[in-house]
Structures are given as C-alpha cells and as structure tokens.
Structure 1
C-alpha cells in the first residue's frame, strides 16, 4: 500500500471517529463487524479470541451464517464499541482501520464494516442474518455475503444512485460504513420496503446480476492494478472499481470472449487510456475478436505497440 493510500486511511479513521461520536448517533449502539474467515494477528486488540475473553458478553454477537453453523468460531462477529449515550472506544476503531491497511483487497478481509443501530447486539445479528438471506434469495443464491468489502463495493457500483438501494439491506434505524476500493469511507442508511417482492424489485437490476456473476474476474483485475501501482510507487487512479466495470462491460470488452483478453483489455485501458481511441490498437482488438486463433494473445500483441500506447497515454493526460 503506497503513501497516498495510507494518508487516505488516516483520513478515513478521523472521519469514522467523528461520525460515530457525533450527536446524531449518540442515541444508537455503534459496532465493528468482523469476518472471522479473514486473518488477524493474535497481538491485535481486535483479535476475536481476545475480544471474546475480555469484553462483556452483552457487547458481542455472532451472525450465525447458515453455511458455517458447524463452527460458530468462524461466523461473522459484531462488537459493540459504544452503547447509546456512551463514549466511543476509539482504540478499537483505530485498530480496525490499521488492520485494513494490512489486508487491503485481500481475498478475505477481517474488518468489514462500521455500524450504528438502534438494535442491541443479538437483535442486530439476527436482523443482518435475515438481510443476508433476503438479498441472496433475490439473486437466486442461498446467502449474499454483502458484508465483504469488495462485494459491497461491487453492489454499490451496480446502481446509478446507490444511496436509494443499498439501504434496503439494513434493518430500520441503522447506518453502515465501510472502506471502499479507493480507501474512502462510504456510508449508507436504512431504507424501508414493503415486502420481499418490493425488496427484490428495488434491489436487483441487470448490472447487479452481471457483477455478481463476474465478481472474481473484476476482483482479480482490481488486485492486479493495485499491485502494479504499488510496485511502481504511483498513486492509484480515482474511482478504480468504476473504471474497471466501465471497461469490462463496454462494447469491445463484452466482445472479447477469452477471459485473459478481456482482463488485458481492461488493464491496458486503465493504464494507458481508452484503447479504441487509437486506430492501430483498435485494429488489433478487432483482429483478436474476429480470429479464433488469435484469442488469448491480446496482451502480447498490445505490448508490442509501445509507440501507439505511449501516444495514447500522452493524449489521455
């Protein structure tokens, strides 16, 4: 993680402390949400076994994920860091943000969300479990793990106005914050719905289904780009996930049937600029699309066109 992203996390930490300590949320419980399929150091103050041993039982609740009922020790854990009208435990909150620095865009992140709710721990755990099941059913899945940060960010990018849809996932009088792919804090608030049909109608759309179907590929592209920018110590582009999705589903992206070609197309577009703005690069892409024997070779073919790529990058600045 480069210095610019570290600075953003420090800003995120300050913002979360300010928001969760604000008068607006003082009457609510405030929580951390951990995915215990992730990994955290035993020395960390947010290590789950330490929390279970040191914190009062009425501040902890397990979200009993159906597929993990055989081992509750790996089910998601919510931790109350402030009861209504109580001062925030800033130490635990900051430890959670520090953990995000260590696990940014790993496959399973331990720290998931920062929650305010009128519900006490056990009731919130039950309500979130119901939400996970309802959202999964709407997408023809047994369960939707929207608490995973990348999954949630991908859901968010499935809407033109995400604030009107994400809140459907939350019980009443609840807000949810998470650190997104750009290392910024994103917060949304509960939205009421009439019944499961109303929920499905308002929560699902075609892009959401596509993003869920292609989540692994989109995630791999995000990880590759992050690694590249970190390796060369360059700032990561703003709205990275939005850019990935735009190129992945644009006219040429959807025509590239080979997964490696489609991945290369997105990577090169983000690094150099929209490839189809250059006639020579566009011709190469069309050749790969039209000729089966060339499929899987887009990365090699594009990398040989250094002059065209350099010209495109300079024009994109």
Structure 2
C-alpha cells in the first residue's frame, strides 16, 4: 500500500503517538562514519532512546552484523529529529543497491526488547529450515506484492511498517493478529530464494529504462521465474532473456532462429545468448517486427 509522498515519514510516525516508533537498520551494509544514521552516531545522539539487536540465526557468532532496532520515541513522545526527514533521501539513494542499510520505519505498541525478540523469531522461522531476512526492502516488497495478508500476520505486533521500494516510493504494510501461523506459498518461497538474480535483473532493466514502473519488482520476479520454466539457463543467459521479455515489444522466442539459439545455450551453458542474438541477421528482426504488428492488429 502506498501513501502520499508529500507527507514525510516523520509526520507518519507522529500520526501514531500511542506507539513506540522505530528505525530498522542492517549493519551488513556499511555506511560512512559521518552519516548521521551510522550506528556510532546514533549511539551518541542524545535524542535516540536505545538500540536493540535483532538476532539472525545464520549469524550466531556475529551479533555486530545483525539488524538494529533503533528506538526513536516512546508512546506519548513527539518524534522529531533533524536527520529523520533526510533518512528518506538516504533510503532512496540505496533503492537499487544490492545491500541496503535503511530497511524501514516501524511503529508498534510493543516495547523494544520484546519486539526485537519477536522479529528475530519471524526472520528465523518464516520459511522452514531457512533464515529469511525479509526486512531487506526488496524481499519485503515482493512478499507484500505476492501475499500481503500473510505478511500482515507475520509482522504482528508491528502495527505499521514503512519501507522504500525499488522504484523510490515509500509504501506501508500494516500488521494484524494472526489466527494461525502463515506458511508462504511455494512460489513465494522460491522467489525469496531467487532474490540475487531478481536484483541483477532489476539493475539491468534500470540501465535500459532509467525510470522503472512502480510494479517493476514483481514484474522482474515473475519474468525471472518464468524464464526458468522454459529451460535450464546459466544466470547470465537467464538475465539476458528475462531482460528481452521486459524491454522488447516482440517475443523473440517465437522465431525459429531464436529458438534454435536457445537450444544451443541450454546444451552448452558457456555460450552467451546475448552475443548469439546480436549476431542474428536483420531479416530475422524484420520478421519479428512484422509478426508483432500482425498480432497487435
């Protein structure tokens, strides 16, 4: 769910004065020591109430690399810091980086120590036998796109979770009490496993189209997974074919010459589909364009 981008995140947090207000950060992404969001800067800031570690099951011996829940305001307090408004700009600057430091702004009626424990339990048990760092914004964005109701129950006791999308918009997911434990669908779990490839595809798409559509993340995820169903492609070939689907007006796989190339790269993954396709004669592209115009008519 989106909200009015003209209203600042600080205003949003202050619309919930009866809740604790938080910032969620991921130290696996390094930031400059002079950045006001750096953990050392926050620890020294008198207005920051406390910082809590959210333990990850896959980092048992590296608590310094686990997410941090920064308490910004107690219930009844006004949340107002000079650096809080600029945190939106910082989050936007990270939107298509592989690792992102600022993961979200949260409000909850649950006190920080208990909330940190609750979040750790969700990260470590969302998908069986797998630690799922769904607090990472791209993962979160895809979960919200695929199963928003399930995500809502997973987040509880977080009342509101705001995050920066991969296209630079701030969206919010509300939490709700779960009647039973949410078990993500198989395609949802598979998408979480394929995050590195989906991210690489988003980056490549943004190079071709600097301003991506608002639903770019879920479109990239669906395309990436659909390509896998058509053949066992090496990552670079899979990325190229996915990008063709997202950016070209024609379905190049429909042409016999392209299908022949696809069979070659499936048989020999060391071949680069991008090079083979770029060497196709102009006549093939003319035929593809004509077929596209015919299907459109």
Shared fold by TM > 0.5? yes
**What residue number does 1:302 align with?**
277
- The 8 Å contact of residues 112 and 147 in structure 1, kept in 2 or not, is answered as yes
Aligned-partner Cα distance in 1 for 2:156–2:224: 33
- The 8 Å contact of residues 159 and 176 in structure 2, kept in 1 or not, is answered as no
**Aligned pairs for 1:24-35 within 5 A:** 25-35=16-26
For normalisation by structure 1, the TM-score amounts to: 0.78
**What residue number does 1:209 align with?**
189
Residue in structure 2 matching 1:21, options 14, 23, 38? 14
**What residue number does 1:269 align with?**
245
More displaced 10-residue stretch of structure 1: 49-58 or 265-274:
49-58
Aligned-partner Cα distance in 2 for 1:226–1:46: 27
**What residue number does 2:140 align with?**
152
- The 8 Å contact of residues 20 and 109 in structure 2, kept in 1 or not, is answered as yes
Residue in structure 1 matching 2:34, options 34, 39, 43? 43
- The 8 Å contact of residues 37 and 108 in structure 1, kept in 2 or not, is answered as yes
**What residue number does 1:183 align with?**
168
**What residue number does 1:3 align with?**
none
- The 8 Å contact of residues 52 and 116 in structure 2, kept in 1 or not, is answered as yes
Shift of 1:144: 1.4
Shift of 1:113: 0.8
Whether 2:233 is the aligned partner of 1:258: answer yes
Compared CA separation, residues 203 and 308, structure 1 to 2 (3 A): farther
Aligned-partner Cα distance in 2 for 1:253–1:106: 24
Aligned-partner Cα distance in 1 for 2:216–2:158: 31
Compared CA separation, residues 94 and 13, structure 1 to 2 (3 A): farther
**Aligned pairs for 1:114-263 within 5 A:** 114-135=105-126, 138-141=127-130, 143-157=131-145, 159=146, 162-172=147-157, 174-194=159-179, 198-199=180-181, 202-229=182-209, 234-250=210-226, 253-259=228-234, 260-263=236-239
Aligned-partner Cα distance in 1 for 2:55–2:222: 36
For residues 218-243 of structure 1, what are the alpha-carbon distances to aligned partners after superposition, in whole Å with 9 as ceiling and x for unaligned? Answer: 111112222444xxxx4223321122
Compared CA separation, residues 16 and 123, structure 1 to 2 (3 A): same
Secondary structure of the corresponding residue to residue 7 of structure 2: helix
Shift of 1:117: 0.3
Compared CA separation, residues 182 and 310, structure 1 to 2 (3 A): farther
Shift of 1:253: 4.9
For normalisation by structure 2, the TM-score amounts to: 0.83
Secondary structure of the corresponding residue to residue 177 of structure 1: strand
Q: Which has the higher helix share?
A: 1
Compared CA separation, residues 173 and 73, structure 1 to 2 (3 A): closer
Aligned-partner Cα distance in 1 for 2:165–2:287: 30
How many pairs are equivalent?
284
Aligned-partner Cα distance in 1 for 2:133–2:20: 22
Shift of 1:166: 0.9
Shift of 1:286: 2.0
Compared CA separation, residues 301 and 124, structure 1 to 2 (3 A): same
Aligned-partner Cα distance in 1 for 2:136–2:202: 15
Compared CA separation, residues 20 and 149, structure 1 to 2 (3 A): same
Q: CA RMSD in A?
A: 2.8
Secondary structure of the corresponding residue to residue 249 of structure 1: helix
- The 8 Å contact of residues 159 and 174 in structure 2, kept in 1 or not, is answered as yes
